[in-house]
Copies of this chain bind each other. A is one copy, B any other.
């Protein structure tokens, strides 16, 4: 491995000068810069990033913690984050938290021990307290899809209340009155928010919220199926809104097994606009979660806060949008 030392010898300058041309330091004359560049090329010199990190106390790496590395939701997010960083020669180290306190905490420590300069966290199980405490540490981080007032500046979120509202409103506008709802786990803030938005839309239309029409799921496909069964056996409804696409998928599969024709006999909506929603049958009407943009914004947050780069202004709250496909019967009644 060729080192900076060999380059300096070939170019006939000192170590410091070579280092300066590498780091685009201004105080180097064009002549020496050229000499050094040529020497580098000739030797096929590649800086040792580890040594650079140690000396400069900056690893140029950022940690990315998501719940699951597979899964339709995280892929696009990771993709936009990676491309944003690589354009700046930063590398991203991935880790999975599996929505579990132990795992998430371990992963964060792992990433910090790895000298990540900054962290992008999509955590679900960790407590607010832990994260507030973490914010006092030396490794800056940005939180995706989670709002903690004490560290609001670190949070990039979707307006989930509005999303829930938009979904219900759409159903109501199509003439649906009896709208069942399969929620996410209520210990998750986003699940709460979506449900609240839902209730808000009902209230606006003077429709009392009926507990009978509510089933608490866990955001997983199976709970969508279970929720449908439960609701179908216990009450009547022409429409079903699920707090995410996964559950909507499960519910739809189950509804079809019950010989219901969609959307004629049952209208269904999801939430997230995960990429496969347009492939299921009928193509799912849902709420778009601009996860790509949010991932990119998180990356920009790090670029700006940690690496002091100039970036587009940081936006912390993103807006959901209705995506109309064919799983909702138009003009019911």
- A68 to chain B minimum Cβ distance, whole angstroms, is 7
The complex places the Cα of A114 from the Cα of B94 at a distance, in Å, of 15
Contact A69/B93 with A276-B279, A279-B276 known, Cβ cut-off 8 Å = no
Residues of chain A from 50 to 102 with CB closer than 8 A to chain B in the complex: 50-51, 53-54, 59, 61, 68-72, 74-76, 78-79, 82-83, 86, 89, 91-96
A46 at the interface (CB under 8 A from B): yes
A47 at the interface (CB under 8 A from B): yes
**Which of chain B's residues have a CB closer than 8 A to the CB of A74?**
75
**Cross-chain contact A70 with B61 (CB below 8 angstroms):** no
- A47 to chain B minimum Cβ distance, whole angstroms, is 7
The complex places the Cα of A71 from the Cα of B275 at a distance, in Å, of 9
Could you say which of B48, B72, B110 contacts A91, with CB atoms under 8 Å apart?
B110
Contact A94/B71 with A48-B115, A54-B51 known, Cβ cut-off 8 Å = no
The complex places the Cα of A115 from the Cα of B52 at a distance, in Å, of 11
**Cross-chain contact A70 with B78 (CB below 8 angstroms):** yes
**Cross-chain contact B82 with A94 (CB below 8 angstroms):** yes
Residues of chain A from 17 to 58 with CB closer than 8 A to chain B in the complex: 46-51, 53-54
**Cross-chain contact B49 with A69 (CB below 8 angstroms):** no
Could you say which of B72, B91, B115 contacts A50, with CB atoms under 8 Å apart?
B115
**Cross-chain contact A96 with B68 (CB below 8 angstroms):** no
On chain A, the number of residues with a Cβ less than 8 Å from chain B's Cβ atoms is: 45
Residues of chain A from 217 to 233 with CB closer than 8 A to chain B in the complex: none
- A51 to chain B minimum Cβ distance, whole angstroms, is 6
**Which of chain B's residues have a CB closer than 8 A to the CB of A94?**
78, 82, 92-94
The complex places the Cα of A244 from the Cα of B275 at a distance, in Å, of 17
- A140 to chain B minimum Cβ distance, whole angstroms, is 16
- A255 to chain B minimum Cβ distance, whole angstroms, is 13
**Cross-chain contact B71 with A75 (CB below 8 angstroms):** yes
Residue of B nearest to A253 (CB): B279
**Cross-chain contact B46 with A113 (CB below 8 angstroms):** yes
The complex places the Cα of A253 from the Cα of B281 at a distance, in Å, of 10
Residue of B nearest to A60 (CB): B114
**Which of chain B's residues have a CB closer than 8 A to the CB of A112?**
46
Residue of B nearest to A74 (CB): B75
**Which of chain B's residues have a CB closer than 8 A to the CB of A183?**
none
A249 at the interface (CB under 8 A from B): yes
A280 at the interface (CB under 8 A from B): yes
**Which of chain B's residues have a CB closer than 8 A to the CB of A95?**
82, 86, 91
**Which of chain B's residues have a CB closer than 8 A to the CB of A281?**
280-281
**Cross-chain contact B276 with A49 (CB below 8 angstroms):** no
Contact A61/B115 with A79-B69, A110-B86, A249-B279 known, Cβ cut-off 8 Å = no
12 further A-B contacts with Cβ under 8 Å, apart from A249-B279, A276-B280, A281-B281, are A49-B113, A50-B50, A54-B54, A61-B114, A69-B75, A70-B275, A71-B75, A72-B75, A82-B95, A83-B96, A92-B94, A280-B280
Between-chain CB contacts (< 8 Å), 13 pairs: A48-B54, A49-B114, A50-B53, A50-B59, A61-B114, A68-B79, A79-B96, A86-B107, A91-B93, A93-B94, A249-B279, A253-B279, A276-B276
**In the A-B complex, the 7 residue pairs with the closest CB atoms:** A281-B281, A70-B75, A69-B79, A276-B276, A70-B79, A70-B76, A50-B53
